[in-house]
Amino acid sequence: MTTTGEEDLRTEHFDRIVKGFALQEFKMKQVVMVMTSNAWIETYYRESASELSGGLGSAVKGVPRLANFPYGEPSWTEVSARTEKYGMEGVVSWEDATTNNIDIIARTLLRIARAVAYAVDSQIYSVLEAAAGNSVVIAAGYEWDSATVANRDPIANILAAKKELYIDNFDPDANETFLCVSPKGYSDLLGNSKVVNNPSFKTADVVSHGVVGKLCGCTLLVSNVVTADKALMVIGKEAGTWKSVSPLTSFVIPDKGVKYTIKTYEIGVCQCTTPNAVVTITNTAA
């Protein structure tokens, strides 16, 4: 028996927007060029990065009078990749959609869509990391989180990575160059006095798409898809391409009185078309 004024009779309000956790942003597509495609297999020709030479006894420099010019010939490697379908679906009963205290359709739609987006983000990073044509390895005891604080020198490591790009005839200062780090790497960077006191460090005016500032001319991008204790320096739009057959698409299929089927899919493939435009910075302990 319940009487007037007792707690059981008081109205309880449920906020239909779920709180209590942060959803990860996805941002690796801004690092690569995005192009549409209508093919199942994507093929391109990767040109050799080596400078042409005249060969033994036929140097480009010092061609004698009336002598034939030394012969040079560029070379290409055919690279192919099949596009892949990324997808996920969920089912919400009509009863749950109608009577639940939260907007279960909206939340399911959001989380399924983000699962697909995360898989695409992870694949883009994995392709760029695996194909990287250059690397900088940090010596043991000199990592960004070294127990000896004086040995931490991320600025020197970042400049060494930029040097590798210059050696391969890329200009990281003339193009938007990204420095992709994990949350741990971000913490290690911003906890370093050589970074925060460096005149090249500038925080982003508006933090968006994971971009949190610039360092040594590089756009600092933080993502959970980046391997811990590793950073990736990438010349934006130059290093890789995402070939999109179908963009991220979500929809709800109602079966009135029974259920709602929620689906998300994306079709495409990432190719690292210019490996030497990517540099990994790695701890020896990683």
What is the pLDDT, as a whole number, of residue 201?
Answer: 84
Q: How far apart are the C-alpha atoms of 261 and 255, rounded to whole Å?
A: 8
**Structure-token match 């999109």, residue found:** 244
Q: Phi first, then psi: what are they for 80, rounded to 5°?
A: -125, 150
Is the per-residue pLDDT at 233 higher than 90?
Answer: yes
Residue 226 burial by CB count (10 A; 0-12/13-18/19+): exposed, middle or buried? buried
What is the pLDDT, as a whole number, of residue 13?
Answer: 58
Query: How many domains is the chain partitioned into structurally?
Result: 1
Q: What is the mean pLDDT of the chain?
A: 87
Confidence of residue 281 (pLDDT cuts 50, 70, 90): very high
Question: Which CATH number characterizes residue 204's domain?
Answer: 3.30.2320.40
Confidence of residue 173 (pLDDT cuts 50, 70, 90): very high
What is the pLDDT, as a whole number, of residue 12?
Answer: 58
pLDDT digits (tens, 9 = 90+) for 174-220: 989 999 999 999 999 989 999 988 888 887 665 666 777 899 999 99
Query: Average pLDDT, stretch 249-264?
Result: 94
Is the per-residue pLDDT at 225 higher than 60?
Answer: yes
5 occurs within a structural domain: no
pLDDT digits (tens, 9 = 90+) for 44-81: 777 776 777 766 655 787 888 888 888 888 878 777 88
43 occurs within a structural domain: no
Q: pLDDT > 70: what percent of the chain?
A: 86
232 occurs within a structural domain: yes
Is the per-residue pLDDT at 122 higher than 90?
Answer: yes
Is the per-residue pLDDT at 94 higher than 90?
Answer: yes
Query: Average pLDDT, stretch 151-160?
Result: 96
248 occurs within a structural domain: no
Q: How far apart are the C-alpha atoms of 125 and 234, rounded to whole Å?
A: 10
34 occurs within a structural domain: no
155 occurs within a structural domain: yes
146 occurs within a structural domain: yes
- Whether 145 and 152 have beta carbons less than 8 Å apart is answered as yes
What is the pLDDT, as a whole number, of residue 76?
Answer: 80
Residue 114 DSSP SS3:
helix
217 occurs within a structural domain: yes
- Give me the domain span that covers residue 172: 135-239+274-283
Confidence of residue 251 (pLDDT cuts 50, 70, 90): very high
What is the pLDDT, as a whole number, of residue 72?
Answer: 80
Is the per-residue pLDDT at 1 higher than 70?
Answer: no
